[in-house]
Chains A and B, each alone.
Chain A
């Protein structure tokens, strides 16, 4: 249990890309991807993953690493040494973990397969395919090299620690400095590797739009939808994302029928995309005099929040059915109602979006159109993925409609993710937005699934 909940990243702050309060120094920076300063020993030996986005986020917090070293003459006290030793242990575990989750063995098999392909005498008969194979080969080689680098570097640090322990009378501060900087750089490099590997989907770095819809079950389900709304808003606030409840339609007695949350900030979609699915609650109903045990469902849908200009999807005008809410009666000067809702249906797919939150009709239309485009993009992306899977002959599980997580409040307390198996008994914390363990576990799970089905 403990092992499962342990964060995948060195520090949980990696999930908080948008510092909003400038008065509080945050241990996180948004840095352009550039070679690490040449004074650091690892810079030239750690090639960046080829699929890296132009910008990556990485935590600069080095809580696990001892204080920043000012100069080489610094005296190494025993406690510094112990702290360094602990850092080395932690990083060593991290390296093992990442090597396992990146599927090193599979990568090596893949490498062999690709190499034997490349060695085939008929290899160059199909030039396009050969190019593709070579590219894949470079990719795999780079990745293996990087993972090997992680291992050698951490071993270097371990050797220094072991050496120092053996000759306990004298501490070689130069060596320890080196171990210290190895660990520091390694942490950064692993952070970066994880981010680029786990969040490399086409829209992962975008913001997200979460839509929550109460399932069947009346007031209980509507209350559950409201609880989920609060949970995601809290999560967003904790990550310092700009979180906004864009739309909320209240239930008759309590709770909500539906709500839309906009989460602005880098990688919000990447983190949240795994939340898509059906969420199930089991509890004693507060709306039932007898307090009977009750199960309710709510659907969560997640779409990328794409800036208008990036939605380069051309939808032919005739494919759209745009309807405006009608004020009724004669309209025009006869009526004054703030009814500005716009509904757009994409006729070929039947995908419908409705936008009511803006105060003018045109604004609602523009917003609805951009949501529709985002939705169609995601559908297209999923379609592509499922086509690839079908070609490979794997069973495709429908993601939507499948229950992805159970939240049991009664007769015992447990939140369990059906896909990753991750569970915690601290229901209250989860409902208060402590979602990182679940999100990270899912990203990891998704990543290892992708790894186990080669060359996607």
Chain B
């Protein structure tokens, strides 16, 4: 079944009023936010905190009280989470708290900017004070990821909306976009071609690439999850890239049968964590992020190998691919496959390290 997402999940007029540049000035228009015009089958993405109207108020002294409570809760963590599962320590939690304040207060208040002598005044909030208590409690007690709390993730120069059920884009993955930028910088054929981001999730890679290709090229982003596609659609509209990026639902290459042998580039950050590791993951990841976006089978390479196989037939000659992996072992496995099992299909297959020096990506070209 082929499902053209552009129509199924169309959210008319989004781009008219939710543009990143307007983000801080949104008021009434978001109040009236509704998806009435969208088909009833579509999913409604959650609005991140920073895009909500500041319809709540609290006194500065109450907000400060909350902030002090939240801070002491964060401090009480110490290194407990680090010791438990390499989770965040107090100082990282305090940084998150600062950003939460930024997102939730009307004038992006920073904790240090609350003057002690002006505690009588009111401040506009995008959620109620009770919700703030609840949210921060979830952060600490349930280890709910900060990005799900605020509903967004800062990634490259983008602010991407995310929610439960959609993988939070990782900083490592930012590099994939740079690799694409490098490749297309001196190759017009690729710049004007059709690119795909398989398992797009929030749409991060597709949007990153879409911004580089501009109107020269086109990107198709696929995902199995309708919710992920709804969130990706929201993000694509926010960056006004709906003319460049098309969203399609389905597993890996399935929705792309019409493009066999025509693709200029295949990019993916597929699930790659070995099944046995899932239970030991950092609580923010293991307990809250979608397993379908993490679990890559017994040794974690089920989907990666599927993508490698598909790349040979889907890419046009000279086409580029880049896949993110779990590390050195998987990289070697992939290169091994590309160079032996895949016959003579690929050239300049390379392993690229991430910023921490871990062998993270495998890239190469179709012959």
Name A residues whose Cβ lies closer than 8 Å to a Cβ of B: 245, 248, 323-324, 326-340, 356, 358-363
Contacts and interface: CB of A to CB of B under 8 A. Distances in A.
A326 B354 CA distance: 10
Contacts of B324: 332
Contacts of B293: 333
14 contacts: A245-B112, A327-B356, A331-B170, A332-B170, A332-B354, A333-B294, A335-B170, A337-B87, A338-B99, A338-B146, A340-B154, A356-B95, A359-B99, A360-B154
Contacts of A329: 86, 282
Interface of B: 86-88, 92, 95-96, 99, 110, 112-113, 145-147, 154-158, 167-168, 170-174, 269, 271-273, 277, 281-282, 284-285, 289, 293-294, 324-327, 354-356, 358, 360
Most B-side CB within 10 Å, residue of A327, A328, A338, A363: A338
Contact of A331 (B87, B88, B167, B172): B172
Nearest to B270: A333
Contacts of A248: 112
Contacts of A335: 86, 170, 282, 285
B271 A333 contact: yes
A360 B156 CA distance: 6
A448 to B, nearest CB: 38
Nearest to A336: B284
Nearest to B284: A336
A207 to B, nearest CB: 19
Nearest to A340: B171
Contact of A334 (B92, B154, B167, B285): B285
A245 B113 CA distance: 8
Given A327-B356, A335-B170, A361-B355, 18 more contacts: A245-B110, A248-B112, A326-B356, A331-B170, A331-B356, A332-B272, A333-B167, A333-B273, A334-B273, A336-B147, A336-B170, A336-B289, A337-B92, A338-B96, A338-B99, A360-B154, A360-B155, A363-B154
A341 to B, nearest CB: 10
A337 B110 contact: no
Most A-side CB within 10 Å, residue of B156, B354, B355: B355
B294 A338 contact: no
A339 B92 contact: yes
Nearest to B172: A332
Contact of B360 (A323, A327, A331): A331
A378 to B, nearest CB: 27
Most B-side CB within 10 Å, residue of A245, A361, A363: A361
Most B-side CB within 10 Å, residue of A323, A326, A360: A360
Contact of A360 (B110, B157, B354, B355): B157
Nearest to A360: B154
B282 A334 contact: yes
Contacts of A361: 171, 174, 355
B221 to A, nearest CB: 18
A48 B157 CA distance: 44
Contacts of A362: 156-157, 174
Nearest to B327: A330
A336 B282 contact: yes
Contacts of B167: 333
Contact of A336 (B156, B158, B285): B285
B138 to A, nearest CB: 15
Complex A-B, nearest 4 residue pairs according to Cβ-Cβ distance, in ascending order: A359-B154, A360-B154, A324-B355, A326-B356
A329 B285 CA distance: 13
A336 B157 CA distance: 19
Contacts of B277: 334
Most B-side CB within 10 Å, residue of A329, A331, A332: A332
A323 to B, nearest CB: 8
Contact of B157 (A327, A331, A334, A363): A363
A329 B156 CA distance: 22
A27 B158 CA distance: 40
B223 to A, nearest CB: 15
A324 B171 contact: yes
Contacts of A324: 171, 355-356
B272 A333 contact: yes
Nearest to A356: B95
B88 A338 contact: yes
B80 to A, nearest CB: 15
A326 B358 CA distance: 10
Nearest to A362: B156
Contacts of B269: 333
Contacts of B354: 331-332
B166 to A, nearest CB: 13
B88 A337 contact: yes
A132 B294 CA distance: 70
A157 B165 CA distance: 80
Contacts of B95: 338, 356
A332 B112 contact: no
Contacts of B294: 333
Nearest to B285: A336
B122 to A, nearest CB: 19
A338 B356 CA distance: 15
Contacts of A338: 88, 92, 95-96, 99, 146
Contacts of A340: 154, 171
A13 to B, nearest CB: 24
B326 A332 contact: yes
Most A-side CB within 10 Å, residue of B158, B272, B281, B360: B281
Contacts of B146: 338
Given A245-B110, A338-B146, A358 B154 contact: yes
B20 to A, nearest CB: 13
Most B-side CB within 10 Å, residue of A248, A330, A337: A337
Given A324-B355, A333-B271, A338-B88, A360 B285 contact: no
A454 B158 CA distance: 52
Contacts of A339: 92
Nearest to A332: B172
A330 B157 contact: no
A317 to B, nearest CB: 13
